[in-house]
Amino acid sequence: MTPEPFGARLRHAMDTRGPLCVGIDPHASLLTSWGLNDDIAGLERFTRTVVEALADRVAVLKPQSAFFERFGSRGVAVLEKAVEEARAAGALVLMDAKRGDIGSTMGAYAATYLDKDSPLFSDAVTVSPYLGFGSLRPAFDAAAVSGAGVFVLALTSNPEGAEVQRATAADGRSLAQVMLDHMAAENAGATPLGSVGAVVGATLADAGADLAVNGPLLAPGIGAQGATPADLPRVFGASVGNVVPSVSRGVLRHGPDASGLREAAGRFADEVRTAVSEG
């Protein structure tokens, strides 16, 4: 059987659970603020609490792989369990790994996150296109087979990104626009939403690009980085209905109490719905 494409599954999750992605970012300062040690036990407790509190209600959970990898194999084991349990509870899991390489190495990254037989198989993964968009082909091919998605960095929220992403290609387009145009081509004809998404920071004063890629737009920067749901229509314009705002510390700082996490996530989801409907 051909699996249901990620874009269709994401559209359904956003429509039923609300358009919100919550990051799982167990960095040392958050563990400390929760009263946990910065060790494998603290990592396990933090991750289990977030998954149990939110996986049955938010559309997307986005674990940041680096914060698990820093604990070595035991940390990766915690990540594997979190992915499995979050997906079992109905959340889509977006692995924030930002992988990017060429040839067989990119193929190995694709197998790690996008092959259903992998213990780290996720509904989608973030990738970097700046070795050339074509270098990502193994990820797109693997995602198509498994019904997964790929989110490609386009216009990120960090100020340093502009020196690459705003640079001008030979034909006068920004490099970010070149990447966005490639994404639109990958998603051509897909309904209700393509499975190749773009990462576009919600903190941007002006996207300055055509964001109509017929795919989801992951928007980091809501909450602790300074953007608010009310900023989304200004940044994303006519494409705001395809935005998946990503919040991490803005929700996670309300732990370790599960009800605090749920209330914060619900509040952000409601604010996003309002902003999108008014935009």
Which residue is catalytic, options 62, 81, 98, 116?
98
Sign of dihedral through CA atoms 205, 177, 125, 96? negative
Q: What is the DSSP letter of 154?
A: E
- How far is Cα 6 from Cα 146, in angstroms, rounded to an integer? 9
Residue 98: active-site member: yes
Give the DSSP per-residue string, 85-132.
HHHHTT-EEEEEEEE---HHHHHHHHHHHH-TTSTT--SEEEE--TT-
Q: What is the DSSP letter of 224?
A: T
Q: Assign residue 118 a region: left if phi > 0, alpha if psi is -120 to 50, beta otherwise?
A: beta
Closest CA to 149 of 217, 202, 100: 217
229 vs 57, 135, 202, 250, 253, CA distance in Å? 19, 34, 9, 12, 18
Catalytic (active-site) positions: 98
